[in-house]
Amino acid sequence: MKMNLTRRSLIRGGTGLAAGAAAVMALPAPAASAAPVNPASIPTGAPLIDVADGSTRWLGGVTNQDTSTTLQGIAFDSVNGHLYTLQIAGASQVAYLRSGSQVAVTSSIGAPDHDTSGDLCLTRHDLATGAVTGYVYLLGFGHGVSLGIEPANGSTPAYVWTEAGAGQSGYGQEFVRFPFANQTVLWTSHPAVQRFGSPDPAATSMTPSVDVDHNILLIRYAMGSDHWFAAYDLSAAIATANTGTLPAPLAQIQQPPLYKYDANGTPTSTPATFQGFTSYGQYAYMLDGDPRISTPSGTLTGVDKWAIHTTSFDLNGTQNDPTTGYIKSTHSEADAAADPREPEGMAIHTGSGAPRLCFGITNNAGSTRQFDLYYKV
C-alpha cells in the first residue's frame, strides 16, 4: 500500500515496536507531514464577481470542430476576440487520428477509446459569431476540464495550456504549454510541447487555467480524494519549461468540497460533479452540476433546479468562510430550456469592460452537438 506522505501523518505503534523500544534507546517519533502553508501572496485589488448575480446569454447553438461530442473546457483570447474550447474527440475522428502518418504516434496510446486515452479536439471560435476558425487535435492529453490561453500578439501565436499525459486514465497527470498551430496534431512528447514540474510529488489529475490580466497560472490538482489549487507567477512558470521544477507558488490552498443540493437549496452529503474553474486575481470560481435530461424543457423544479452551481473562493484564504471555505455559492437558472442541460467549462473574458465570468451549457443531444455560452458580471 502506498501512502501519501505529504497529506498524512506517519503513525508508528503496535506491540512489536513497544518491545523493541524497551530493549534499546527509544527512537524519536517521525515528524508529522503537514499540509503546505499557503503563502497567500497573490496581489489584491481585483474585483470579486458575485456568483449570485443573474446570467446573460452571450452565444447560442455553438458547434465545435468535432460535432459528435460537446465541450468540456473553455478559455478566451480576449485581445483578439477568440473563444477556445476543448472536447473529447468523437468516434468519427478515430479513422483520421489513427491512420496514415499518425500511426507511429497513436500506437503508444493503446486502446482506441478516445475517452480513456485522453484524445482531445481544441477548437478556436470567432467570439462575435461562434464560428470555427481553427482546430488542433491532442492525442493522449486528458479530459479537457480546463485550459488557459496566452493571447496571440502580432506574429507570435496564441499559447495554450492544457493537461497532458493521460495514458489510460482519461485525465492528464501533468500540464503543458504549446503554440496554437491550426489544423495540426500534437502528442505529449511532441517537440512543440513544453512540460513542467508538479505542485507536489504526489499530485495527480492536474489541469490549468491562466489569468493574463494578473499574470497568474493556476493549477488544480488531486491529492488522494482531496483537491488543491496552486497559483504561480505566469512569467516565472514559463521560464521553468522543461526543467521539471516550478517556481515557489503565490498561493497553495486546499479546495473546499462541493456538494449537491436538494430542492429547497440545502446542501446534501453527496459530492457534486465538478465541471470547471477559473480565476481572476486572488479569486477562484468553480462550476459544478449534472445533466438534466428528464425534466420538461422550460421548467426548473426539484433537484433539477440545482443542476448548475457556481462558487467563489479566495486563493489567499483571507475571505473564505472558516467552516465551508466558500465566499459564496449559488445555483444558476441559466438556459432553462436546454435539454440536456449540463454545465461545461468556466473562464474569464476581459474584453468588454468589467470581467465576465463565463460558462458553457450543452443544449441538445442530437447528432450535431451544440452549446450555449453564458456570463455573469
Express each pLDDT in 75-114 by its tens digit: 999 999 999 999 988 765 655 565 544 544 444 444 356 6
Distance CA 9, CA 311 (A): 30
Q: What is the pLDDT of residues 196-219, one digit of tens each?
A: 999 999 999 999 999 999 999 999
Query: Does residue 36 have a cis peptide bond before it, meaning omega lies within 30 degrees of 0?
Result: no
| pLDDT score of 5 more than 50 | no
Q: Are 307 and 290 in contact (CB under 8 A)?
A: yes
Distance CA 347, CA 128 (A): 17
In the numeric block, the cell 460558462 is attached to 359
Q: Are 260 and 129 in contact (CB under 8 A)?
A: no
- Whose CA is closest to 199, among 180, 179, 181, 173? 173
In the numeric block, the cell 490580466 is attached to 213
- pLDDT for 92: 56
Q: What is the pLDDT of residues 242-265, one digit of tens each?
A: 999 999 999 999 999 999 887 777
Instruction: Tell me the backbone φ, ψ of residue 297, rounded to 5 degrees.
Output: -60, 145
Q: Beta strands 132-139 and 184-187: pairing type? A: parallel
Q: Are 319 and 341 in contact (CB under 8 A)?
A: no
Q: What is the pLDDT of residues 161-188, one digit of tens each?
A: 999 998 767 899 999 999 999 988 888 8
